[in-house]
Structure 1
Amino acid sequence: MEKVRKIIHVDMDAFYASVEQMDNPALRGKPLAVGGNRERGVVAAASYEARRYGVRSAMSGKMAALKCPQLIFVKPRFERYKELSHQIRNIFYDFTDLVEPLSLDEAFLDVTQNKVNNPSATLIAQEIRKRIKEEIGLNASAGISYNKFLAKTASDINKPNGQAVILPKDAEIFLENLPIERFFGIGKVTAEKMKALGIHNGKDLKQFSLQFLTKRFGKSGLHFYNIVRGIHLSEVQPNRIRKSLSAENTFSKDLGSYQEWVMALEGVFEELQERIRRSGIKGRTVTLKIKYHDFTQQTRSRTFEQYPDTAKIWETVLELLRQEELNSAVRLFGIGLSNLNVEEERVHFGKQLLIDFE
Structure 2
Amino acid sequence: MPFSFPLRKIIHVDMDAFYASVEQHDHPELRGKPVAVGGGSKRGVVTAASYEARKFGVRSAMSGIIAQRNCPELIFVKPRFDRYKEISQQVRNVFFEFTDLVEPLSLDEAYLDVTENKKGNPSATLIAQEIRKKILVKTGLTASAGISINKFIAKVASDYNKPNGQKTVNPEEVIPFLEALDIRKFYGVGKVTAEKMYQLGIFTGLDLKSKSLEFLQTHFGKSGRYYFDVVRGIHLSPVKPHRTPKSVGAERTFSENLSSEVFMLERLEHIAHELERRLLKNKVAGKTITLKIKYSDFTLHTRSKTLPYFVASKELILETAKELLYQQELENSVRLLGISLANLNTEKRKKLVDDAPVLVQLKFDL
The residue that corresponds to 2:134 in the other structure is 131
1:144 is matched by which residue type in structure 2? I
Distance 1:304 1:31, change over 3 A: farther
43, 46, 62: which one aligns with 2:49 = 46
2:89 matched to 1:92? no
Describe the shift of the 1:129–1:174 C-alpha distance in structure 2 as closer, same or farther (beyond 3 A): same
In 1, distance between residues paired with 2:155 and 2:141? 19
What is the number of equivalent residue pairs in this alignment?
Answer: 287
- Root-mean-square deviation (CA, aligned residues, Å) is 3.2
Q: Could you say if the C-alpha distance between residues 320 and 133 of structure 1 is closer, same or farther in structure 2, counting changes exceeding 3 Å?
A: farther
Q: Secondary structure at the match of 1:39?
A: coil
Answering whether residue 157 of structure 2 is matched by residue 149 of structure 1, we say: no
Query: Which residue in 2 is equivalent to 1:298?
Result: 305
Conservation of the 8 A alpha-carbon contact between 1:179 and 1:202: yes
1:320 deviates by 6.2
CA separation in 1, counterparts of 2:341 and 2:24? 32
Structure 1 runs not aligned, ≥5 long: 247-281, 291-296, 306-315, 327-334, 340-350
Equivalents in 1 of 2:121, 2:311: separation in Å? 50
Query: Is it true that 1:109 corresponds to 2:112 in the alignment?
Result: yes
- Return the alpha-carbon distance in structure 2 between the equivalents of residues 336 and 175 of structure 1: 37
Aligned to 1:9: 12
Give the conservation status (yes or no) of the 8 Å contact 1:5–1:357: no
CA–CA separation in structure 2 for the residues paired with 1:79 and 1:199: 43
Alignment of 1:17-96 (within 5 A): 17-37=20-40, 39-96=42-99
Task: Report the CA distance shift for 1:137/1:165 in structure 2 as closer, same or farther (over 3 A).
Answer: same
Matches within 5 A, 1:233-312: 233-244=236-247, 287-288=289-290, 298-299=305-306
Alignment partner, residue 209 of structure 1: 212
Give 3-state SS (helix, strand or coil) of 2:60's partner. Answer: coil
1:52–1:234: structure 2 CA closer, same or farther, 3 Å change rule? Answer: same
320 and 208 in structure 1: CA distance in 2 versus 1, 3 angstrom threshold: farther
Q: Quick one: which amino acid aligns to residue 9 of structure 2? A: K
CA-CA distance at 1:205 after TM superposition: 0.9
Moved more, 135-144 or 33-42: 33-42
Distance 1:97 1:236 in 2: 10
Contact 1:287 1:302 survives alignment (8 Å): no
Q: CA deviation at 1:322?
A: 4.0
Q: Which amino acid aligns with 1:114?
A: N
Show CA shifts across 1:132-175 (max 9, x none): 00011100000000000000011011000000000111111111
Q: TM-score, normalised by structure 2?
A: 0.71
**What amino acid is aligned across from residue 290 of structure 2 in structure 1?**
L
Q: Distance in 1 between matches of 2:228 and 2:25?
A: 42
Whether the 8 Å CA contact 2:124–2:147 is kept in 1: the answer is yes
Maintained 8 Å contact 2:291/2:324: no
Alignment CA distance shift 1:289-1:65 (3 Å)? closer
Rounded to whole Å, the distance in 1 between the matches of 2:248 and 2:365 is 33
Distance of 2:313 and 2:62 partners within structure 1: 25
Task: Please state how far the C-alpha of 1:304 moved relative to its aligned partner.
Answer: 10
Q: Larger Rg: 1 or 2?
A: 2
State how far apart, in whole Å, the 2-side matches of 1:125 and 1:103 are: 19
How far apart are 1:357 and its partner, in Å? 3.4
Encode CA deviations 1:83-115: one digit per residue, 9 max, x unaligned: 111110011000000000011000000000000
Q: Following the alignment from structure 2 to structure 1, what is the Cα–Cα distance between the partners of residues 11 and 191? A: 25
Identity %: 60
Take 2:306 and 2:193, find their aligned partners in 1: how far apart are those partners?
Answer: 23
**1:193, CA displacement in angstroms?**
1.2
TM-score between the two structures when normalised by the length of structure 1: 0.73
Conserved in 2, the CA contact under 8 Å of 1:96 and 1:110?
A: yes
- Unaligned stretches of 5+ residues in structure 2: 250-280, 293-303, 315-319, 330-337, 343-354
Correspondence for 2:365: 357
